[in-house]
Structure 1
């Protein structure tokens, strides 16, 4: 779990190779966690993250099982660049990212902090040990704000965005929201569209 937290909340290099990411993860473990680590384990963790989030690179000698992509690859949070043999993980707009998925994630963060209101900046950027939506979903500031506005528009009785003393705040009005219900709403909506 440390590797995933590190990659999505601390590692913001736009283009990298697996060795660079492995060294950066090893430094994080050594400096932030003050723990011992196996170089082999760190490399395996980085390879696993890249394999889960980047689409496979087809080669004629590759086994069929190795060509099967993780469902997380469809999020396109990490892309392999064949010309440079590097990976990219850039903040972009992500129009395919569903509003209910953002709603689920923001509710989980609010629940973790045991609050019903957070500055949007805190949802965009990591503060202390918290998780940041913008970093995790690799969203630009504009894209995160647009997703939050769409969430408010879809559920106007449950959420609100205010500006208080020059700081934009995201507020949860309905304290009884079940985050899993948002996921159910998303998948129910998809089923109705495809039927």
Structure 2
């Protein structure tokens, strides 16, 4: 989750945005047959072309549902997407929020997504501006290794807004390309009425469940190996760490409100204190991040979004 300029990846998706059904279909096929993505019958089993097979495997890895080294299900992937998991067909919007966090914090396998949600803060932009900014970021960070091709970065830059905006129903767009990615539900990126620009602004996100926020907060404590984090560091990405406020495009006031609700969500784990004039979130009792996932899915009526 920590950005390392020596470990970056671009263009592994074969230019295909993540589509509905791909994670569930790919994960469950992998559970049924180990090595399905490398097998001769992968296209038949998954019902897609060869390049799409590669893309499905990539998105499973980028969303941290399968281990990128061992190519086996992660524990979280099994809990979520197994046929008897919490949400095998992505019917709970909380799962989409969780997958977004896992993708946007995967600096090693989804570097462009990490950059966009943690480093790119322009509230309104064109596709060309996004591509230029990503190229500038890569040119600045990639010093001692071969830089990705311009076309590769262009594909990444065009895919990000395509995955997060809802289709306009343009009749010239092929049906397959017009199918919205599940991430479009989150409305983290919107398109202008004329289609010439995009917006990605901080705002209150009432649909973000507290259980998912709790999982993300635990992840930040785990990364930093500390018992306290300034509230400001949850808002803005610093020192190559991701930031919850940036990834979920939250306003400062909404982030604070959500953290206050998190303190009461599972009492005794977190506490907000004012130390030396600085508001900080303290980890009062160490806990597994999965505690918050289990709490959400087992008590969905309780986990009212803040």
User: Is the shorter-chain TM-score for this pair beyond 0.5, marking a shared fold?
Assistant: yes
Matched-pair contact (CA < 8 Å) for 1:92–1:143: yes
Which residue, 64, 71, 75 being the options, matches 2:182? 71
* TM-score (normalised: structure 1): 0.92
Number of equivalenced pairs = 192
Whole-angstrom distance in 2 between the partners of 1:130 and 1:148: 19
Consecutive unaligned residues of structure 2, counting only runs of 5 or more, are: 1-109
Whole-angstrom distance in 2 between the partners of 1:107 and 1:192: 20
Which residue, 133, 137, 147 being the options, matches 2:258? 147
Matching residue of 1:180: 290
Aligned-residue offset at 1:192: 8.5
Change (3 A) 1:58 1:84: closer
Matching residue of 1:21: 130
Matched-pair contact (CA < 8 Å) for 1:30–1:37: no
Structure 1 runs (4+) deviating above 6 angstroms are none
Which residue, 166, 182, 188 being the options, matches 1:55? 166
Change (3 A) 1:138 1:30: same
Whole-angstrom distance in 2 between the partners of 1:71 and 1:84: 20
Matching residue of 2:269: 158
Comparing 181-190 and 6-15, the one that deviates more: 181-190
* TM-score (normalised: structure 2): 0.60
Which residue, 32, 57, 65 being the options, matches 2:141? 32
SS state at 1:190 partner: coil
Whole-angstrom distance in 2 between the partners of 1:63 and 1:187: 36
Matching residue of 2:222: 111
Matches of residues 65-104 of structure 1 in structure 2 within 5 Å?
Answer: 65-104=176-215
Which residue, 148, 152, 177 being the options, matches 1:41? 152
Structure whose residues are more often helix by fraction: 1
Structure whose residues are more often strand by fraction: 1
Consecutive unaligned residues of structure 1, counting only runs of 5 or more, are: none
Matched-pair contact (CA < 8 Å) for 1:26–1:37: no
CA RMSD of aligned residues (A): 1.7
Aligned-residue offset at 1:191: 7.2
Comparing 133-142 and 66-75, the one that deviates more: 66-75
